[in-house]
Homo-oligomer: A and B are copies of this chain.
Amino acid sequence: MARPERRTMRDVRRNNQAMLLRTLYFAGPASRLELTGLTGLSAATVSSMTGDLLGENIIIGAGQVDSDGGRPRALLRVNPLYGYAIGVDVSETHVRVELFDLAMHERAKVEYVLRPARHDPELVARHILAGVDVVLSDAGVPPEQVLGVGVGVPGIVERGDGGLIHARSFGWDGVPLAALLRAGTSLPLHVENGAKAMAQAELWFGSGRGTGNAVIVLIGAGVGATVVAEGATLHGVTRSAGEWGHTKIVVGGRPCRCGGRGCLEAYIGAEAILERAGAPTHTAGWQEELAGVLASDSPVVAETLTYLGVGLANLINLLNPEQIVVGGWVGHLLGERLLPAVRAAVAENSLAQPYAATSIVLGNLGPDAVALGAATLVLEEFLSAAPAARMTAAV
């Protein structure tokens, strides 16, 4: 049971206004009449709220449709140029900065390559700040039109204003990235784990769309999972939920870079697969190297499928999701060729009843969805806040 919560009439109006905006965003263009049907709001409320949103240029006209015998009806939609969102993907190999309009169309993009072991926080922050300037200038967008900057990073992002980041693969232990960025920009910032940001994009625009109970797994150099339960993302008490890669599947098994043994990541992460195949890791061409291993008849392929099957089956047995979306570059390499074999390995290791309820699909935003996911954090804020409140704050 949810905790007691009081709702005032003002909350009701705000809630309804945000709902109207979300409905127009995801289901629009729509006429006022269609909006009353989609939202359950009265015609008078829809008329008053759309009037406000039109006045603020947040929504715009989108042509007309004929109505039976009556006047043609005006269609409305969210104004894709009302504002912009910047998404940043900080990974082991690069810092990528992308500018999106509110329809999440990419308007500009820049990438900085990180040399191995050059993950100095100040350097990463400088790349991000420079990238923000570059994409805005390339697209001719003034900073005032940017609603915020979303940054996807590896590791655990602590809750709270500090947003300290713990990313072992970077050697980051409590890095205040948001504070470093605030020294160079006054744009609203949203720092989040990259896997969770990508999961958000898959949930809204990709394979997970419309699913209330899902797990989005990211398999790359690192391995993580985002759990969505009853429509809400599970963050955990200190926002570190999702460390699926460090759940143990072999007590006392292979050593993992986390310091533990037998972690799932030590079997299905990029490094682990290459090591078990006797191939070099962390080279410039390791993505091609890994693709080669997975396309071969090496016994490592079958082993990897078994380990992945166990890892996914554990999620199914514990969480009973409707859908599992497999993403990340290793996930895509595995899934594109071997999804039926992955499914078979999962079936062998999960209980029949929850297995039957779960579909396992490949993320359809591709392996590079972290920047889009990070920008989605900005969009989420835009669609959640009551427009009136937001406008006041923005002035």
Report whether A321 and B237 are in contact in the complex, using a CB–CB cutoff of 8 Å: yes
Report whether B6 and A320 are in contact in the complex, using a CB–CB cutoff of 8 Å: no
13 A-B interface contacts by CB (under 8 A): A4-B22, A156-B354, A227-B318, A229-B232, A229-B236, A234-B319, A236-B354, A237-B357, A238-B354, A240-B320, A248-B314, A249-B250, A249-B251
Report the minimum CB–CB distance from A49 to chain B (whole Å).
Answer: 13
A133 within 8 A of B: no
Residues of B within 8 A of A12 (CB): 7, 9, 12
- Once bound together, how far apart are the Cα atoms of A253 and B213, in whole Å? 30
Report whether B41 and A243 are in contact in the complex, using a CB–CB cutoff of 8 Å: no
A79 within 8 A of B: no
A288 within 8 A of B: no
A379: nearest chain-B partner, CB-CB:
B1
With A250-B251, A319-B227 in contact, is A240–B7 under 8 Å at CB?
A: no
A275 within 8 A of B: no
Report the minimum CB–CB distance from A201 to chain B (whole Å).
Answer: 13
Report the minimum CB–CB distance from A311 to chain B (whole Å).
Answer: 9
A307 within 8 A of B: yes
A244 within 8 A of B: yes
A247 touches which of B4, B231, B317 (Cβ 8 Å): B317
Q: Chain A: interface residue count, which band?
A: 35 or more
A230 within 8 A of B: yes
Residues of B within 8 A of A2 (CB): 231-232
A7 touches which of B16, B22, B383 (Cβ 8 Å): B16
Report whether B4 and A238 are in contact in the complex, using a CB–CB cutoff of 8 Å: no
Residues of B within 8 A of A249 (CB): 248-251
Report the minimum CB–CB distance from A214 to chain B (whole Å).
Answer: 9
Residues of B within 8 A of A236 (CB): 213, 229, 319-321, 354, 357
A8: nearest chain-B partner, CB-CB:
B12
A19 within 8 A of B: yes
Report whether A237 and B322 are in contact in the complex, using a CB–CB cutoff of 8 Å: yes
Report whether A349 and B7 are in contact in the complex, using a CB–CB cutoff of 8 Å: no
A313: nearest chain-B partner, CB-CB:
B248
A384 within 8 A of B: yes
Report whether A156 and B353 are in contact in the complex, using a CB–CB cutoff of 8 Å: yes
Residues of B within 8 A of A357 (CB): 236-238, 240
Report the minimum CB–CB distance from A219 to chain B (whole Å).
Answer: 15
Q: Which of A41, A244, A353 has the most CB of B within 10 A?
A: A353
- Once bound together, how far apart are the Cα atoms of A137 and B183, in whole Å? 74
Report whether B349 and A314 are in contact in the complex, using a CB–CB cutoff of 8 Å: no
